[in-house]
Amino acid sequence: MEETVERQRAISAPKIYRAIAEAKRRIGTVGKNGKVTEYGNYEYRRFDDILNAVSPLLDEYGIVVVPKVVDASERLDGKKHIVRVRVRYTWYAEDGSRIVAVTEGEAFDMGDKARTKAQTVAYRIVLAQVLNIAYDEMRDPESGPQHRNTPDNPEVLRRVIGRVSRCTDTETLNALLQYVALCASGQGPAGEVLSQAQVKELRKYFGDAGDRCRLPDKHMLQLFEEIDSIAREPFTERNLPKFEAEPIRFAELDLLLSQATRKADRDRAVMTAMQSRNLRHITVEEFGELFAKHFPAGVSGEENAVGAIVAQAVQSTTIDELASHTRSIDGMRLHGKIDEKVAEYILGMFAKKIRLMQEQRAKGATDANGG
């Protein structure tokens, strides 16, 4: 008799609860499948992955989710159009039974897409919460790196400051800004979390990095605006701008090298010239002409040591030659005879050229073998 009653209850019970429960059992975990490779090779959890995991199960169990925006607010922050929405999501089953969940989402855009983005944020949140979607790795909240690296952990901040302090090019600067935004919103690498106060503390270091990267004044202002915005609203989805260095042409570099007499100044001028070439602000011929003029063959003096090595590296045609120049710069770095940031940049450029040579050699070998 009791079994019959239970079966009748199960048959007459609203289907929405069972449908959601079944979907929850099937959905499994959604891991950090998004990757950022420009800096740090870290991963983050993508909204698309959540949607792709959920949609087939909603179809299979006959669940329809109907949104309705019940409240929305808009404001301007400089050029940013920021929208916050409150959305009521009604989850229906095939028998018409339903549950209701209400959540909020906030996002910004420079154009007219802020409202759409905010609704996307709200939908992501409601899917994750109603279906209780787990990450790939569920750790004990009282142990592991995510417990040790809580907001205001000075070790996390110290590592980020170190990276920003070594930044000398806009590619790294852009990647670092994205990295900070992800860490502030809790979407960075496992355990890498930055509090709002820590993001504010990074403002000065990003300003110094912007100076080293030769950002134009308008880009410097925009960089500060982005840092302030991340600190103020860390959970807002954002499309970060790509900053570019102000071009330094041949004549300016020639003057810079001519006026730099101290070793530290000449070393930095060498790095600036390499950056300008890397950014295609000067041609290969102009780059070679600069170093032939200011660091000719046989030039002596400690203040010319770095420039002379780079000048020789420019003419290098083999991997062995470049490897030798790499060892020379690395030796100077180890003995404190070159600024650490300058050394890292030059070594990075040498490594890049060596990789290109290796790829060309491998391609040549493949072609020679008829592959």
**Tokens matching residue 128:** 């994750």
Taking 90 as the threshold, does the pLDDT of residue 206 lie above it? yes
Cα separation of 53 and 233, whole Å? 28
Model-wide pTM > 0.85: no
Which DSSP helix (H) or strand (E) runs through 57? Answer: helix 47-60
Look-up of token digits 């300016």 = 252
Q: pLDDT grade, residue 40 (50/70/90)?
A: very low
Q: Which of 66, 96, 130 is the last residue of a domain?
A: 130
pLDDT digits (tens, 9 = 90+) for 78-118: 666 788 899 999 999 888 898 899 988 887 777 778 888 88
Per-residue pLDDT, 56 = 87
Same domain as 267, residue 210: no
Question: Does the residue 273 lie in any domain?
Answer: yes
Same domain as 354, residue 269: yes
For residue 71, list its beta bridge partners. Answer: 86
HSE (side-chain half, CA atoms, 13 Å) at 265: 9
Question: Does the residue 239 lie in any domain?
Answer: no
Same domain as 213, residue 262: no
Which DSSP helix (H) or strand (E) runs through 69? Answer: strand 64-77
CATH code: domain of residue 40 = 3.30.390
Tell me the mean pLDDT in the region 210-231.
88
Average per-residue pLDDT for the chain: 81
Same domain as 254, residue 183: no
Tell me the mean pLDDT in the region 164-188.
86
Per-residue pLDDT, 42 = 52
Question: Does the residue 116 lie in any domain?
Answer: yes
Q: pLDDT grade, residue 25 (50/70/90)?
A: confident
Same domain as 149, residue 126: no
User: What's the number of domains the chain is made of?
Assistant: 3
Question: Does the residue 137 lie in any domain?
Answer: no
Per-residue pLDDT, 38 = 45
Per-residue pLDDT, 12 = 55
Contact yes or no for 26/54 (Cβ under 8 A): no
Question: Does the residue 53 lie in any domain?
Answer: yes
Same domain as 332, residue 307: yes
Q: pLDDT grade, residue 227 (50/70/90)?
A: very high
Same domain as 90, residue 34: yes
Same domain as 278, residue 218: no
Cα separation of 333 and 62, whole Å? 65
Contacting residues for 61 by C-beta, under 8 A, at least 6 apart: 19, 20, 22, 23, 93
Cα separation of 235 and 153, whole Å? 19
* DSSP code for 32: -
Question: Does the residue 8 lie in any domain?
Answer: no
**Highest mean pLDDT, choosing among 10-19, 101-110, 220-229, 334-343:** 220-229
Same domain as 17, residue 120: yes
Question: Does the residue 55 lie in any domain?
Answer: yes
Q: Which amino acid is at 276?
A: S
Domain limits at 281? 250-366
Closest by alpha carbon to 267, among 309, 328, 213?
Answer: 309
Same domain as 119, residue 151: no
